[in-house]
Chains A and B, each alone.
Chain A
Amino acid sequence: MKDYAEKIQAHARELLAAGKVDCVIGYETGSDGVNARPAFVYRAEDVGRLTFDDTCTHDLVTYLRNRKGKATAVVVKPCDARAVNLLLLEHQLQREQVVVIGLVCPGIKERAWGQKGEALLGKCQVCAMHNPPIYDFLVGQPIAEEPSPDQRYAPVAALAEKSPEERLAFWQAQQERCIRCYACRQTCPGCYCTECFADRLDPQWLGIRVDAPANGMWHTIRAFHLAGRCIGCDECQRVCIMGIPLSLLNRKLEQKVDDAFKFRPGQDAQTPPPLATFNPGENLGVDGGHGC
């Protein structure tokens, strides 16, 4: 990963100097002097700020929604690149307006203020996609892809094995802590509704009340709206200061979507999304059938 910064800078300089893009979204070193933060570079002479190392957690694709109609280059890890595919598939991006600088990614570390992290992030420990599925420029030597280790769904299975009462108690404890700051929504590249159902006043689906039942509804619908769409960047969970394991819900749905519809979000920008298509003959266990 040592020469990544240099290569990113070279691509950024060329793109900005040639006027092919207005802005390059990448990473720079943050105010603690160690961990990276998102950076927006508008001039070729400023590309020296751009960096890349194993503290680059953010999914920068989330910023593309602010840049509709403007040519933008974005630095993406393979999981973030899946978000580019998701947005292309959902007609939220125009391919010719985004330049994808894709990175081969060996994994990102846990972060702590002012400190280099030691352990790989949970998502990186079970990652099966080290090469970006979409890019215009590739940085790094492609790594041979290994099948995802079985542990990917281990935390989901551990909770699913418990009784409904235990699961309810587990989620209620999480819902009681939630402060509904909506950082999970705001950081998500897939959450781009102009007006979120949670902010709607007429009808007032959710409203401003914060308590366990309302938070439960928020967690349910947030996860559901990402069913067949969540690309697994786990940013929702990372930004949660209350330590709520939101990606457990996303992972549960990801597993079900893969099992039932053989669909993995973000692998390409063509396959129709599972909730926008159907097979006339399918029976998904209706007629009083039960899941979980």
Chain B
Amino acid sequence: MTDNGYQPKIVGFLCNWCSYAGADMAGTSRMVYPSHIRIIRVPCSGRVDPLFMAKAFEQGADGVLMAGCHPGDCHYNEGNYYAQRRYALMRELLAFMGIEPERFRLDWVSASEGKKFSQVVTEFTQAVAKLGPRQGVRR
């Protein structure tokens, strides 16, 4: 990924109905994006307990991505709105505790947005790789 061979570990929590299908779309359309992301399929972005983010970081993740349906498109009508509020607070807290804000991201990716998915993952992976390995991780 970077000149010194650093391979960032990225965990992606993808909503089953939009973003996970968006990732599929990126795959079937043969779009290329960095393969550092480990995808975890969740029923809704609203299922992503901030605990998941904290656990990923505790286990040594370098970056955490959350992706769900666009506002108004949630399969469960409102899960992504709750997700947004939780994420906004969690982002503030983690940044305050010294985890660089570039290490986490929430984005909206629909099932048809394969291109957007590959873009988001590419941008995010590059941003995380630029920061290098996280400090204070158990090894």
Contact = CB atoms under 8 A, between A and B. Distances in A.
Q: Does chain A touch chain B in the assembled complex, meaning CB atoms less than 8 Å apart?
A: yes
Interface of A: 156, 159-160, 164-172, 197, 205, 211-214, 216-217, 219-221, 223-224, 227-228, 249, 252-253, 256-257, 260-261, 274-275, 278-280, 282-288, 290-292
B54 A217 contact: yes
Interface in B94-137: 94-102, 105-108, 120, 123-124, 135-137
Given A278-B81, A288-B107, A216 B97 contact: yes
Interface of B: 50-51, 54-55, 57-58, 71-72, 78, 81-82, 84-102, 105-108, 120, 123-124, 135-138
Contacts, number: 126
B60 to A, nearest CB: 8
**Closest 9 A/B residue pairs (Cβ):** A168-B98, A292-B95, A167-B98, A290-B101, A278-B81, A284-B88, A217-B58, A291-B92, A291-B91
Contacts of A212: 136
Given A213-B136, A224-B50, A253-B92, A280 B97 contact: no
Scoring B94, B106, B120, B136 by chain A CB atoms within 10 A of each residue's CB, the highest score goes to B136
A278 B85 contact: yes
Contacts of A221: 50-51, 54
B97 A249 contact: yes
Contact of A278 (B84, B91, B100, B107): B84
Contact of B89 (A159, A224, A287): A224
A172 B97 CA distance: 9
A275 B96 contact: no
